[in-house]
Amino acid sequence: MTTADAEWSAPDPGTAERARRVAVRAFRPHRIWPTVIAAVLLLAVAVTAAAEVISALAGVPLGIPFVGAAAQRVGGAQWNAPEVQVASAALALIGLLLIAVALLPGEGRWAALRTDDPDLIVGLSRPALRRTLTAAALGTGGVDSAKVAVRRRRIRVRVRTELAETAELRAAVTAAVEERLADIAPLHSYKVTTTVRRGKR
C-alpha cells in the first residue's frame, strides 16, 4: 500500500470520534431493575403516607398500624435524639447508594466494536467474546484447557497445561488473546491477565 492509499483509507478523526460516541451511547448499560425496585418502594411509601395524612386531615384516619405508630413516634421526637440522628444517617446513606447506582455504569451484555462510522454500530455479546478468546487461548501450543472471564475492562484467562515451564506459555497465551482482541477491535481497551496451572482439569 502506498502512502497516498493509506491517507485515503484513514478515517477522519472527527468522524471516528463521532462514531465512538454513538457506539458508547448505543451500548451503554442501563440499571433497569434497581431503578424499578427503588421507584416502586418509594411510590408505595409515598402513597401510604399521603393516604394516612389525607385521611387524618379529613377526620377519619385510616389507622394503618405501622404508619400510625411511626407518625406518633416521629411527632414526639426531637432533632437531637439519637434515634432521629441514626435514622437520618441511614436515609442519607441509602440516598447516596441510590445516586451511586444511578451514576456508575453497570456491566453491559455487549462489547461495542470500533467501526469509525457513525452510521454503523456493531456489538459482540460477552458470551461470544468469551468463546472467541477461549478459542485463541486453546490455539496456543501446550494448553490443555482454558477458561476466560470478561469483566468491564479486564479479561482473565486461566489455562491448564502439562508443560513443566509455564512462564513462556503464559506470555504466549496472553499474546494470542491480545492479538485476537486486536482483530476484533473493541471500542474499549481490555487488560489481559493470564494464569497458568499445571495438570489436567
> How confident is the prediction along the chain (201 residues), in pLDDT tens digits per residue?
444 444 445 556 666 666 666 656 655 665 666 777 777 887 887 787 777 767 767 777 776 666 666 666 665 666 677 776 787 788 788 778 877 776 666 666 777 787 766 777 777 788 888 999 999 999 988 899 999 998 878 999 999 998 877 888 999 999 999 999 988 888 888 899 999 998 755
Asked whether residue 117 is assigned to any structural domain, the reply reads: yes
pLDDT of residue 118: 73
**Residue 134 sits in a domain of what CATH number?**
3.30.300.30
121 lies in the same domain as 45: no
Asked whether residue 4 is assigned to any structural domain, the reply reads: no
Asked whether residue 143 is assigned to any structural domain, the reply reads: yes
Q: Are 19 and 115 in contact (CB under 8 A)?
A: yes
pLDDT of residue 194: 93
DSSP 105-127: ----SEEEE--S-TT--EEEEHH
pLDDT of residue 67: 63
Asked whether residue 178 is assigned to any structural domain, the reply reads: yes
pLDDT of residue 85: 77
Domain holding 97, by residue range, is 32-103
What is the amino acid identity at position 34? P
pLDDT of residue 26: 57
117 lies in the same domain as 95: no
114 lies in the same domain as 172: yes
Asked whether residue 8 is assigned to any structural domain, the reply reads: no
pLDDT of residue 10: 53
pLDDT of residue 5: 45
pLDDT of residue 124: 79
Asked whether residue 120 is assigned to any structural domain, the reply reads: yes
81 lies in the same domain as 151: no
Provide the domain count of the chain: 2
pLDDT of residue 125: 81
Asked whether residue 192 is assigned to any structural domain, the reply reads: yes
Asked whether residue 23 is assigned to any structural domain, the reply reads: no
130 lies in the same domain as 190: yes
pLDDT of residue 79: 67
Q: Decide: pTM greater than 0.75.
A: no
How far from 74 is each of 69, 95, 114, 136, CA to CA, in Å? 9, 20, 56, 63
